Amino acid sequence: MSFIPFDLPGFKISRTYSLENKLIITACSVQVLGHCPACQTASSSVHSYYQRSPKDLPSSGKAIRLNLLVRRFRCNNPQCSKKVFAERLPNVLAPNAQRTERLNATLQIFADNFSAEIAARVLKKVSMRVSLNTLLRLLKRAARVVIRPVKPLRIISVDDFAFKRGRSYGTLVLDLQTHRPVELLPDRTAATLAAWLRVRPLLELVSRDRSPEYARAFEKGHPRRCK
């Protein structure tokens, strides 16, 4: 049995090996039952197997890649429309996720407390390579429940992020005094941001990139603070 210096709950490790600066860990799920996500019926009837290969937290300076053999179960409830379902791995990995829950939680801490550019640079040095858009998407996810500030906003940062890379973009607004997301705008146009700025006359300082759209937004929505 191979040994790894951290837990992988619900899995049995079958192999570990190094590849350059990466550690590959192969494991098989050992859960006896799966529960249908549609009707919650328990099943032990295995339909098929498939592999998931998410990124995990690094260890000893090496990036970690998991090769997880997981199962599809047959739903035994004749009234359920979902005849086959993939087993859920709540302690390790969300459905369709490319990163483990613990890696996402760590990235979220960096996304919440640093700018995306600084966070990406620091994370790269500790073997957690991540793109700026990934960090912005994590902030977007946190902003789905918008945090309304107790005090009026005075210092903010605006940045764009991709809903769908190359096709659809939004604007994320951060309170730079609390380093928390406060607004998620549906696009990155000057008109949308200008309208948001007009109803916030107490803003004193805004951090932005060189986007001409954002520059026009400040000229239209907050001309007294635009330099």
The confidence score (pLDDT) of residue 142 equals 63
Which residues, in sequence order, are CB contacts of 79 under 8 Å at separation 6+? Answer: 39
DSSP output for 117-152? HHHHHHHHHTT----HHHHHHHHHHHTTS----SSP
Mean pLDDT per block of 10 residues along the chain (227 residues) reads 68 86 90 90 93 90 90 93 91 88 87 77 86 79 56 84 75 82 85 88 81 84 57
Contact predicate 188/198, CB 8 Å: no
186: amino acid identity, one letter: P
The CA distance from 117 to 140, in Å, is 16
Q: What is the pLDDT of residue 4?
A: 65
Token pair recorded at residue 95: 């459905």
The pTM (predicted TM-score) of the whole model is 0.62
